[in-house]
Chain A
Amino acid sequence: MREVVAEFANPVMLYSIGKDSSVMLHLAMKAFFPSKPPFPLLHVDTTWKFREMIAFRDQTAKRLGLKLLVHVNEEGVARGINPFDSGSVLHTQVMKTEALKQALDKYGFDAAFGGARRDEEKSRAKERIFSFRSAAHGWDPKNQRPELWRVYNTRVNKGESIRVFPLSNWTELDVWQYIMAEGIPIVPLYFAKKRPVVERDGTLIMVDDERMKLRASEKVEDRLVRFRTLGCYPLTGAIESPADTLEAIVTEMFTARTSERQGRLIDGDEKASMEKKKREGYF
């Protein structure tokens, strides 16, 4: 992170409010202590995030005294893009990928931190720690800069940028252990609680606000659930779990038989869908 601050003119940290972002932000607080991290946080708000996430976001920025930028793709809002009617593919494309590009262009950021990890998904395993993006924010997996030792090539021309993934070599378990060891605050949604959910296409979706339209056969039930990963509420599956403490969550991790991104409906949309999204500029 210090490497980025030393070598780039205008870095930003993409803050997604999830556990990985929380860890990344905590590392930044440590890396620059006693200074504050010398860059703002950027949240790309699809307007469909869990309400608790938004509350946590604002509270975190305030607690740490950091500048928070929130960007919404107003064009997408005007077009009425939403995860229910537009489908998850279009929703993600417009409200996340496009919105992110808009925000990066708007502020002219030349480096952006992201909390992605190589263990999350196959195409992410090949992602560099300093990952080059063209002026159009595209990723070319076949033309990546070789990354040797701890020497990172940080050179970019005007308009081009680098995405930086400080947590590349962390695993999901590492993240949880670190949260526990350091006592890092996370969104309460990660802990089990009775929440109103409906079962849709085999996934438990939490009814977070009145915009969720129920289908005829569906009924809302209060179930003891938590989330392993957080995104837009209509696209994020909950798991039934009684784990309401960090200890319980980590214990559950060891017996877990499904990977965390399984709760993400957008990944399964098309084969190799993550690689495709990344080429288009998704994080």
Chain B
Amino acid sequence: MAPRDLKSFLAAQEKKSLLRFLTCGSVDDGKSTLIGRLLYDSKLLFDDTLSALEKDSKQHGTTGDDIDFALLVDGLEAEREQGITIDVAYRFFATDKRKFIVADTPGHEQYTRNMATGASNSELAIILVDARKGVLTQTRRHSYIASLLGIRHVVLAVNKIDLVGYSQGTFDRISAEFSEFAAHLGFLSRVAIPISARFGDNVISKSAKTPWYAGPPLLTFLETVEVDAALADKPFRMPVQWVNRPNLDFRGFAGTIVGGHVKPGDTLAVAKSGRSSTVKRIVTMDGDLQTAVAGDAVTLTLADEIDISRGDVLCAANERAEVADQFAAHLLWMSEEPLLPGRQYLLKLATTTVPAQITVLKHKIDVNTLDHLAAATLRLNEVGYANFSLAQQIAFDPYAENRDMGGFILIDRFTNATVGAGMIEFGLRRATNVHWQALDVNKDVRAALKHQKPAVLWFTGLSGSGKSTIANIVERTLYAQGRHTYLLDGDNVRHGLNRDLGFTDADRVENIRRVAEAAKLFVDAGLIVLVSFISPFRSERRMARELLGEGEFVEVFVDTPLEICMARDPKGLYQKAKAGTIRNFTGIDSPYETPENPEITVRTIEADAPSQAEAIMAYLEKHGYIA
């Protein structure tokens, strides 16, 4: 190649658009083979990769002496042995017209989350079906998930057309069946192409064996399909990632533009505070820019000093993002541990992270039939529709309008695992209309009248550990001193406020949530509240702690070994649990998560209940709860 060719070539390279697409299909549909074929036929394989492939094909291949293209793509050892793709792999290739990033994802129902991950960054999906089998349940599932994650263009690749004798009838029947149900999924374009990934028919070039097929081969279609979502034409959005302050004279807001465009002089508003200012400069190392569009990572400076920090969203002043602390969203569950409505998770959307909980799980969706089913929880790979409540307001847009402003992840507060992915439908109006009523007589005033510092003494421990016994003595002592108290006992509350709740994990979470809220009201009334609940999960105890103010939550861990609790068995419950007549009994078939940093630990095997109660009284005096 001559230097001049190189220049024009590079210029052409820069103009090339990028298409990110996803391939989905099940183990035997030939997905990996198709990607391998695309890489191979577009001459993108290096010699050493090819010779390794030939070697691998002989060892693990399933195609006799021919090259097994699937081996090119199935990366990890475990997968190679099992012959299935278990994660998302990204592949890169380019033609003269376009660059491509392929997300290769597995097709089994148990890998729905992997498919969703691949789909979240793709503009187009290739859904493979085996011509011999036609449209299957999994085809519907793949189409639904692609649609749920906002993919608007779909290609139905009817693979292994060679195995049905290149039959037009079969192809027509399958594509008609697909059109029928995909019509409801909101795709902007749908095409069906008959291919053979193994032999290359209609992959790169038109096959002579399917003269009845008038459309383009797959690659040509991928090169030319218009997927431009016109993000640049949407309202301006830039979640602030980081505030750049090298010195006192410079204050820049760094972030990636996720919608619209911006130029100096534009008026922008901070979504949450509503304050606005105009853009002064778009700063880069290579000089200021005159304009920047969606996808650009920029640093903006504003004309006025307004308070902006990470998590704020800069918006076009005349088209602002929604701001609310409650919204409805679709949720895909991605964790082995099921979703617990009422439990607090961390929600991360764009650059904001806030505590959040699901208030109502309206239904789950059968990803195979698209039926709505009643549900109390979501398990791994299940999709549901729910109302969310956040600890504070955030700025967002519906997912359908802007993926970056409407897609969020949920993080487990203890394992830090990503457990769910959500797509916001709309904000809930009541969130903006229910305001907190400010009252003149407040907590401090009430507490002062009672000469005490209100707090919750939260007794946690196994059934039979001695929680209620000790709490009872503490309350008696406080009462004798003239303190104002209230004791919430697990068993007693379950007779009234929580009589509708059982002992599943989901109900236990709700049980604790209600008790924590009730305790909070009593603290607000100025009382010292004693809560005696097994409360086995760290997450819920943490939620209770966070509901209350600094120093208002005193966790008392009643640490009694399980064998001793079982030996005491004051209510005969352990015996029933062991006999199997009570299910989900803490310590037997439901876990107890030991507190990590309780304020007070009580070891009942070391001292009797009255002296333990004395130690708790001493703590209260020492820390100023009672004078």
Instruction: Name A residues whose Cβ lies closer than 8 Å to a Cβ of B.
Output: 2-3, 5-6, 29-36, 118-119, 122-123, 125-126, 141-142, 144-151, 153, 155-157, 168-169, 171, 173, 177, 180-181, 247, 250-251, 254-259, 262, 272, 275
Is the C-beta of B244 less than 8 angstroms from some C-beta in chain A?
Answer: yes
| C-alpha gap A125/B334 in the complex (Å) | 21
Say yes or no: A177-B13 contact (C-beta < 8 A), given A6-B351, A33-B285, A257-B46: yes
With both chains docked as a complex, state the minimum distance between the C-beta of A174 and any C-beta of chain B, in angstroms: 9
The answer to whether B297 and A145 have CB atoms under 8 Å apart is: no
**B320 interface hit (Cβ, 8 Å):** no
SS class, residues of chain B in contact with chain A:
mixed
User: Which 10 residue pairs spanning A and B have beta carbons closest together?
Assistant: A122-B75, A148-B120, A155-B416, A259-B46, A35-B246, A33-B285, A2-B242, A125-B89, A257-B47, A262-B48
Given contacts A34-B246, A118-B90, contact A126 B76 (CB under 8 A): yes
The reply on B349 being an interface residue by CB < 8 A is yes
Q: Is B195 an interface residue (CB 8 A)?
A: no
State whether the Cβ of B472 lies closer than 8 Å to any Cβ in chain A.
no
Nearest-neighbour CB distance to chain A for B248, whole angstroms, equals 13
Chain B nearest CB, measured from A201 CB (Å): 15
Are A149 and B242 closer than 8 Å at their CB atoms?
Answer: no
Asked, given contacts A30-B285, A126-B89, A257-B46, whether A148 binds B409 with beta carbons under 8 Å apart, the answer is yes
Q: Is the CB of B116 within 8 A of A31?
A: no
- Whether the pair B244, A34 counts as a contact (CB closer than 8 A) is yes
The answer to whether the Cβ of B181 comes within 8 Å of any Cβ in the partner chain is: no
Confirm or deny: B98 has a beta carbon within 8 angstroms of a beta carbon on chain A.
no
Partner of A32 from B6, B89, B244 at Cβ < 8 Å: B244
How many of chain B's residues touch chain A, expressed as a range?
Answer: 35 or more
Taking a contact as CB atoms under 8 Å apart, the answer to whether A34 and B250 are in contact is yes
With contact pairs A32-B244, A35-B244, A126-B76 given, residues A145 and B121 touching in the complex (Cβ less than 8 Å) = no
- Decide if B3 is an interface residue (CB 8 Å cutoff): yes
- Contact of A151 with B348 at beta-carbon distance under 8 Å, contacts A177-B10, A275-B77 already known: yes
Closest to A274 in B: B75
| A151:B88 contact, CB within 8 angstroms | no
The distance from the CB of A115 to the nearest CB of chain B, in whole angstroms, is 16
- B459 → A minimal CB distance (Å): 27
* B90-A125 in contact (CB<8A): yes
B293 CB, min distance to chain A CBs, angstroms:
16
Partner of A146, one of B86, B297, B416, B421: B421
Which residues from A are CB-within-8-Å of B75? 122-123, 125-126, 275
- A255 partner residues in chain B, CB cutoff 8 A: 1
Contact B351 A153 (CB under 8 A): no
Residues of chain B with a CB closer than 8 A to A149's CB: 120-121, 403-404, 407
Q: Given the complex of chains A and B, what is the CA–CA distance between A149 and B239 in angstroms?
A: 14
Q: Bits for B63-100, please: 1 = Cβ < 8 Å to A, else 0.
A: 00000000000011110100000111111101000000
Per-residue CB contact flags for chain B residues 349-391 toward chain A (1 = under 8 Å, else 0) read 1110000000000000000000000000000000000000000
Q: How far is the CB of B379 from chain A (nearest CB, A)?
A: 16
Give the interface centre of A148, A181, A257 by most chain B CB atoms within 10 Å.
A148
Report B416-435 residues with CB < 8 Å from chain A CB.
Answer: 416-418, 421
Could you name 26 residue pairs across A and B whose Cβ atoms are closer than 8 Å? A2-B255, A6-B351, A29-B285, A30-B284, A33-B285, A34-B244, A34-B250, A35-B244, A35-B245, A119-B91, A126-B89, A126-B90, A142-B86, A147-B418, A148-B117, A149-B121, A150-B258, A150-B404, A151-B348, A155-B346, A168-B90, A177-B14, A255-B1, A262-B46, A262-B48, A272-B77
Is B254 positioned at the interface, with any CB of A under 8 Å from its CB?
Answer: yes
Q: Are A151 and B77 in contact (CB under 8 A)?
A: no
Q: Is the CB of B10 within 8 A of A180?
A: yes
Residues of A within 8 A of B14 (CB): 177, 181
B46 / chain A contacts, CB cutoff of 8 Å: 256-259, 262
Report the minimum CB–CB distance from A226 to chain B (whole Å).
17
Are the CB atoms of B241 and A3 closer together than 8 Å?
yes
Q: Which residues of B contact A275 (CB under 8 A)?
A: 75-77
**Closest CB in chain A relative to B309 CB, distance in Å:** 10
Contact between A3 and B351, CB atoms less than 8 A apart: yes
* Chain A residues closer than 8 Å to B76, beta-carbon distance: 122-123, 126, 141-142, 272, 275
Within 8 A of A (CB), among B459-515: none
Answer whether residue B310 sits at the interface, using C-beta atoms and an 8 A cutoff. Answer: yes
Q: B101 on the interface (CB 8 Å rule)?
A: yes
Chain A residues within 8 Å of B48, by CB: 258-259, 262
Question: Are the C-beta atoms of A146 and B114 separated by less than 8 Å?
Answer: yes
Measured between beta carbons, the chain B residues less than 8 angstroms from A150 are 121, 256, 258, 404
B310 neighbours in A (Cβ, 8 Å): 6
B416 CB to closest chain A CB (Å) equals 4
Residues on A with C-beta less than 8 A from B299 are 33
Q: Which residues of A contact B348 (CB under 8 A)?
A: 151, 153
The minimal Cβ–Cβ distance linking B409 to chain A, given in whole angstroms, is 5
Residues of A within 8 A of B117 (CB): 146-148
Q: How many angstroms between the C-alpha atoms of A203 and B255 in the bound complex?
A: 46
Asked if residues B245 and A141 are in contact (CB atoms below 8 Å), the reply is no
The minimal Cβ–Cβ distance linking A30 to chain B, given in whole angstroms, is: 5
CB pair A33–B283 under 8 Å, yes or no, is: yes
Given A35-B246, A125-B75, A272-B77, A151-B349 contact (CB < 8 Å): yes
**Beyond A2-B254, A126-B76, A150-B256, 5 additional pairs, beta carbon < 8 A:** A2-B242, A141-B78, A148-B117, A250-B6, A254-B1
Does B92 lie within 8 Å of A118, measured CB to CB?
yes
**A2-B242, A251-B6, A275-B77 given; A141·B47 CB < 8 A:** no
Q: What is the minimal beta-carbon distance from A130 to any residue of chain B, in angstroms?
A: 10
How far does the Cβ of A202 sit from chain B's closest Cβ, in whole Å?
12
- In angstroms, Cα B404 to Cα A3, docked, is 15
The answer to whether A145 and B417 touch across the interface, beta carbons within 8 angstroms, is yes
Query: B339 CB to closest chain A CB, in angstroms?
Result: 15
Q: Closest chain B residue to A148 by CB distance?
A: B120
Determine whether the beta carbon of B242 is less than 8 Å from that of A146.
no
**B520: Cβ under 8 A from any A Cβ:** no
User: Does residue B113 face the partner (Cβ distance < 8 Å to A)?
Assistant: yes
List chain B residues, Cβ under 8 A from A142.
76, 78, 86-87
- Known A-B contacts A2-B254, A6-B242, A35-B245; A145 and B92 likewise in contact (beta carbons under 8 Å): no
**How far apart are B39's CB and chain A's nearest CB, in angstroms?**
11
For residue B17, CB closer than 8 A to chain A, the reply is no
> Are A141 and B87 interface neighbours, CB within 8 A?
yes
Query: Is the C-beta of B408 less than 8 angstroms from some C-beta in chain A?
Result: yes
Chain B CB within 10 A, most for which of A119, A144, A150, A275? A150
Q: Is the CB of A151 within 8 A of B408?
A: yes
- B334-349 vs A, CB cutoff 8 Å, 1 = contact: the mask equals 1000000000001011
Complex interface: chain B residues within 8 A of A153 (CB) = 348, 409, 411, 416-418
Q: Determine whether the beta carbon of A157 is less than 8 Å from that of B421.
A: no
The answer to whether A145 and B418 touch across the interface, beta carbons within 8 angstroms, is yes
A157 in complex: contacting residue of B254, B286, B346, B416, CB < 8 Å:
B416
Nearest-Cβ distance from residue A246 to partner chain B, whole angstroms: 10
B49 contacts chain A at the CB level, 8 A cutoff? yes
**The one of A5, A119, A155 that contacts B411, using a Cβ cutoff of 8 Å:** A155
Q: Which residues of A contact B3 (CB under 8 A)?
A: 247, 251
How far, in angstroms, from A29 to B246 measured CA to CA in the complex?
Answer: 13
Q: Which residues of B contact A180 (CB under 8 A)?
A: 10
A102 to B621, CA, bound (A): 47
B6 and A247 form a contact (CB under 8 A): yes
Q: Which residues of A contact B255 (CB under 8 A)?
A: 2
Given contacts A149-B407, A254-B1, A257-B47, whether A33 and B421 have CB atoms under 8 Å apart is no
Chain A residue, CB-CB nearest to B56: A271
Q: Output the nearest chain B residue to A155 by Cβ-Cβ distance.
A: B416
Please, how many angstroms separate the alpha-carbon atoms of A262 and B77 in the complex?
A: 20
Complex formed: what's the CA distance from A120 to B416 in Å?
Answer: 29
Cα–Cα distance between A272 and B88 once the two chains are bound (Å) = 18
Contact B418–A258 (Cβ < 8 Å): no
- Cα distance A39–B48 when bound, in Å? 38
How far, in whole Å, are A219 and B3 apart by their CA atoms in the complex? Answer: 36
Q: In the complex, which residue of chain B has the Cβ closest to the Cβ of A34?
A: B246
For A148, the chain B residues whose CB sits under 8 A away are 116-117, 120-121, 407, 409, 421
Q: How far is the CB of A53 from chain B (nearest CB, A)?
A: 24
